[in-house]
Structure 1
């Protein structure tokens, strides 16, 4: 089988080539993202493999179907970037990797929280310049702070376990509460109560039509003044303009984001010599209390190995009409 890969980086090739030794697929890698601008390049491929910033609109999926593509393999957990109804209409199977080292993302969220709180990134730069002053580096204890976690799937659960280790009180919101977390003392509450009572709020839910801009002017107004917000899930969960206003008024004391609603034009690229005309990202970067990483949370050896193995196994099973289940989920 021929597979066309999009948004492929050097590390994708490294891990997928290794995993492909068990499958012997004919893989062609493209660094560009998949969208209307490039879809016509596909030829004689039965499957495409895409990542978070590839755009699989109905128009793109229709072209894929005409070209004989039978499988769309998402090498990520989220599927907000694909028109699933169109895939079903054109009889294209879709698989994803719903769980790839959830600890990788959870640990990155915790690392961002620790960094923005204790300002270790600023301390590192100071000391390298022989500035050993502690002025401006004051943080706070995480012990006994109230942490609100929105979404308690595998990643949210892993993050909660880390925060419990710090001695935090956990408030959680999820449509499907986890009984094992309840046994550990996690308190499932309404979203409103979580927003009102949390010192720290971490987002670990998928992006859907219903929760787009979950964090907006109205929900921010419910929060305590001085709250810290962490988002390692999807950029569209946060209204960037509203978050900027809250940072300006200091309603939000700190913001940690590994995702951004317009990241497809920025992330996974070296733009250090270019002019970025995105005023919102430039404004965010101007705040000393904003920590931004470029969709790095998933980026561990363990996660990349699992992504490659699960993705290729799913394609193999779909090709044999052996419907993936559990970790290898067939969406349509």
Structure 2
């Protein structure tokens, strides 16, 4: 049996091929799964997808009609999959429920410190042999307040780093994490967190209840010199409202590894074709904004764990077993 893996990055391919070796054949393609590319999966019982795949009802119908029976998504998030449609079509769906939380937490801090200390601007200047310090002044983080929305595994790892910086810790989640409380975190309502935090980092999943968690009202509540970091899901932030606040000259910095309309943009080379998304084009022009292309998870350790979990999901499916990663069980 050959598995078809969509959306495979060049760095990922050897890790995927090595992990599946001795178990089953795998064909890796750089194309992302969409309505246009779904027909090439015909004849493949198992398809593996990436987080930016579009698995709506029509795509799932095309896969099912072509003989696909199992979808192994290589990510924790699954908001891109119509699970109800998958169940109606008899498709088994599994994800990766865990991988290195340090990969995302460390990258979130990379964004935070980059915008705080104007690293990108400084680097661009020195490439032109401009060594002035004008406009590069940052702030000490020690003694300031960090607000962490979502204190699961990644949020906890982020909090431990904040504790190392000597920051005051505020948290918001549906349940308190004892490890974060032990570090000195105080859980408050999100309105208070937005109002008091000097640095806000998002670590919650994208659900109907969390879409635009950082909306216009939240942005207006934040301090004028706050830093906002989102390394979770783009839809957590109302980007149009964020652009409006940035145009008004607010916020010390914004670090975004995700964007709510990133599908069809992130992971692609648009340098020659250009980008028609006016909001994103405006966003990247602000000197206090750093945008990266959904790479927070992209470490050797995390990708290996993702691939290993995907292999296990496939092997459990073929053996008729169900594990904790299954979102839609085998019919």
Shorter-chain TM-score range: over 0.9
Asked if structure 2 preserves the Cα contact closer than 8 Å seen for 1:228 and 1:255, the reply is yes
Q: Which runs of 5+ in 1 are unaligned?
A: none
Deviation of 1:236 after TM superposition, in Å, equals 0.8
Q: Which residue of 2 aligns with 1:322?
A: 321
State the distance in 2 between where 1:39 and 1:126 align: 45
Q: Which residue of 1 aligns with 2:266?
A: 267
Q: Which runs of 5+ in 2 are unaligned?
A: none
TM-score (ref. length: structure 2): 0.96
> Counterparts of 1:17-32 in structure 2 under 5 Å?
17-23=17-23, 25-32=24-31
Q: Aligned with 2:263: secondary structure?
A: helix
State the distance in 2 between where 1:274 and 1:57 align: 26
Asked if structure 2 preserves the Cα contact closer than 8 Å seen for 1:226 and 1:250, the reply is no
Deviation of 1:153 after TM superposition, in Å, equals 1.2
Asked if structure 2 preserves the Cα contact closer than 8 Å seen for 1:257 and 1:292, the reply is yes
State the distance in 1 between where 2:102 and 2:179 align: 17
RMSD of aligned alpha carbons? 1.3
State the distance in 1 between where 2:11 and 2:311 align: 16
CA displacement 1:282-320 (0-9 Å, x = unmatched): 101110000011111111111111111111111101221
CA displacement 1:10-41 (0-9 Å, x = unmatched): 12211101111242x22222222111112122
State the distance in 2 between where 1:119 and 1:234 align: 24
Q: Aligned with 1:265: secondary structure?
A: coil
Q: Which residue of 1 aligns with 2:2?
A: 2
Asked if structure 1 preserves the Cα contact closer than 8 Å seen for 2:2 and 2:44, the reply is yes
Matched residue count: 328
CA displacement 1:163-219 (0-9 Å, x = unmatched): 110001111111121112111111111111111111111011110111111111111
Q: Which residue of 1 aligns with 2:305?
A: 306
TM-score (ref. length: structure 1): 0.95
Mark the CA change 1:22 to 1:185 in structure 2 (over 3 Å): closer, same or farther: farther
Q: Which residue of 2 aligns with 1:280?
A: 279
Deviation of 1:7 after TM superposition, in Å, equals 1.2
Q: Which residue of 1 aligns with 2:242?
A: 243
Q: Aligned with 2:243: secondary structure?
A: helix
Task: Write out the 4+ residue segments of structure 1 that deviate beyond 4 Å after TM superposition.
Answer: none
